[in-house]
Structure 1
Amino acid sequence: MTEQQRDAGEGAPADDAAGAPKVTEGTVEALVRAQLAKALGGKRGMVEAAVPTLTFTISYIISSELRLSIYAGVAAALLLGAVRLVQRSSVQYVITSLLGIGIAALFAMRSGNAADAFLPGIYYNAIYAVVLSISVLVRWPAIGLMIGPFIGHKEDFTSWRADPAVVRLASRLTWLLVLPCVIRVLVQYPLWLADHYEWADTFALLGFSKVAMGWPLQVAAFAAMVWVLARGRTPLAADPDSREQA
């Protein structure tokens, strides 16, 4: 083998025969950053998630008409979707927002209490926090499942669990996803209880807290993840021994 051939072989990524999938990112941290950014949907995705809820809340505060407020929230989501369609861009986040306000409307219409529109979100965050926490405690952190197909052997998407550094990194990042959910439940559930049992009129606080604790909290969690990821350099290598400790 010539010197040039040896140099080319050393600089090339692990081939398929070694079982490692080809990726463009050089580290686990870079890969996770890319996946999280995609999940957030950018600034526009954040706005599209908040507008229907904000429209519903403000409409009910002004009119005290539950059905009219629901229609306003749905109309806002449909308008955002129409703009996306005209621009021929993805309607993924608009559909998610429309689905969310649709479920919220069912809860509110069933009870006749506008505050119940926020109950599905509270339930969702509570269940999400429990599921993610369990995933860490049983050493199957959710973030690890997200990046698993890109790490280790193509034939075994669970091979990342053999690397303690990757498991620790995925666990830390998963806990950072749990935190916003816990904060939302701790703030919003007492507000819902106060409105439901007529201890106080907390509907406005409940609505605005949902918006304030939606994407802003998610972005804060993402920023914390970026900070954690910036500290580590865990190579995407097939050999766990070649990875540095996260």
Structure 2
Amino acid sequence: MAPDREAEPVASAAADSSRLGSDAPPEAQDLRRYTTVEELLKEKLSEAIGGWRGAVESAIPTLLFALVWSVRRDLRESLLAAGAVALVFLVVRLVQRQDVRFILYAAAGVGISAFFALRSGRAEDAFLPGMLQNAGLLVLLVVTNVLRWPLFGFVVGVAEPDVFAQDPTWWRKHRGIVTVACRLAWVLVALNVVRLGIMVPLYFAEQVAALAVAKVALGWPAYLVALTAMGAILVRGRTPIDPAAAAP
């Protein structure tokens, strides 16, 4: 049986990772901790994703915006309500000395949405930045996959800051990492196609309440479905980190 072509060495160092000592290249030392590419990507992705609390903190400002808009039909009041609850979440995180990254992302999203909506005076424009982001990410994922520079490869690379500082593209020298990273990216491509396919018609129909519900439903719940699909890829895959393991 021929060796697995998806698991070519990282500049020949990764192929011998199980046999290298402390003087091995940084990327080989990193890969040596894993048996398969899927195991590597699963760990790095888990480090980059927030938990259920981050999902709730991201969803509530959007739902509150829609609720206040439905009752008051006042754009400024709706945006102020969303911003206020995001600020409360941020203060609670700071008091508890917890990671504030995800609530800062949500707060930034509220600020950008407010800018778009207040500038046009149309409530539905609060959802425009998110749709533009989805469209941009969709194009980026497709282009980078076609060029064999998948974004998930950079997730692996950035997760090892010392190695990334020396060689930001070290992960791309391992064909197995590139192949599996591309498969994961196609899952997100499908997710963004679904998001845009549902939200764009609602936007042009000026259905603000429906847009809010769609944004929440197609946010973390849909993302968890995508993560489940990614998990299936990572659990079922057996692309060896060390190409020598694929030999007879």
Range into which the TM-score falls when normalised by the shorter chain: 0.7 to 0.9
Cα offset, 1:58, TM superposition: 1.1
2:124 matched residue in structure 1: 115
Counterpart in the other structure of 1:226: 231
1:15 aligns with 2:21: yes
Counterpart CA distance in 2 for 1:235 and 1:182 is 32
Q: Is the 8 A contact 2:37 2:180 kept in 1?
A: no
Residue in structure 1 matching 2:83, options 55, 66, 74 = 74
CA distance in 2, matches of 1:243, 1:101: 49
* Cα distance in 2 between the residues matched to 1:175 and 1:71: 37
Report % sequence identity. Answer: 40
Distance 1:146 1:186 in 2: 27
TM-score normalized with structure 2 length = 0.83
Matches within 5 A, 1:195-206: 195=206, 202-206=207-211
Cα-to-partner distance string for 1:26-61 (whole Å, 9 max, x where unaligned): 432122112222222011111111111111111111
- Aligned twin of 1:146: 155
Q: How far off is 1:25 after superposition?
A: 4.1
CA deviations on 1:57-109 (whole Å, 9 max, x unpaired) are 11111111110110000011011111111111011111000000100001110
TM-score, with structure 1 as normaliser: 0.84
Q: Is the 8 A contact 2:157 2:168 kept in 1?
A: yes
Match of 2:184 among 165, 173, 177: 173
Name the CA shift for 1:243/1:108 in 2 (closer, same or farther; >3 Å).
farther
1:25 and 1:102 mapped to 2: Cα distance? Answer: 41
**92, 95, 98: which one pairs with 1:86?**
95
Is 1:215 aligned to residue 223 of structure 2? no
Deviates most, 119-128 or 214-223: 214-223
| Residues 233, 244 of structure 1: 8 Å contact kept | no
Q: Does 1:33 align with 2:42?
A: yes
**Matches of 1:231 and 1:103 in 2, distance apart?**
40
CA RMSD of aligned residues (A): 2.4
Indicate how the Cα distance of structure 1 residues 16 and 107 shifts in structure 2: closer, same or farther if over 3 A, else same: same
1:54 aligns with 2:63: yes
One-letter amino acid matched to 1:82? V
Residue correspondences, number: 226
Give the structure with higher Rg (CA).
Answer: 1
User: In structure 1, what is the Cα distance between the partners aligned to 2:133 and 2:232?
Assistant: 27
* Separation in structure 2 between the aligned mates of residue 73 and residue 83 of structure 1, nearest angstrom: 16
Q: Deviations along 1:160-185, whole A, 9 cap, x unmatched? A: 33433322211101111222112111
| 1:184 counterpart residue number | 195
Q: Which sits farther off after the overlay, 20-29 or 180-189?
A: 20-29
The verdict on how the C-alpha distance between 1:137 and 1:111 changes in structure 2, with shifts beyond 3 A counting, is same
**What is the SS of the residue equivalent to 1:18?**
coil
Q: Which moved more, 1:185-194 or 1:163-172?
A: 163-172
- Could you say which residue in structure 1 is the equivalent of 2:244? 242
What is the CA–CA distance in structure 1 between the aligned matches of 2:245 and 2:159, rounded to whole Å? 15
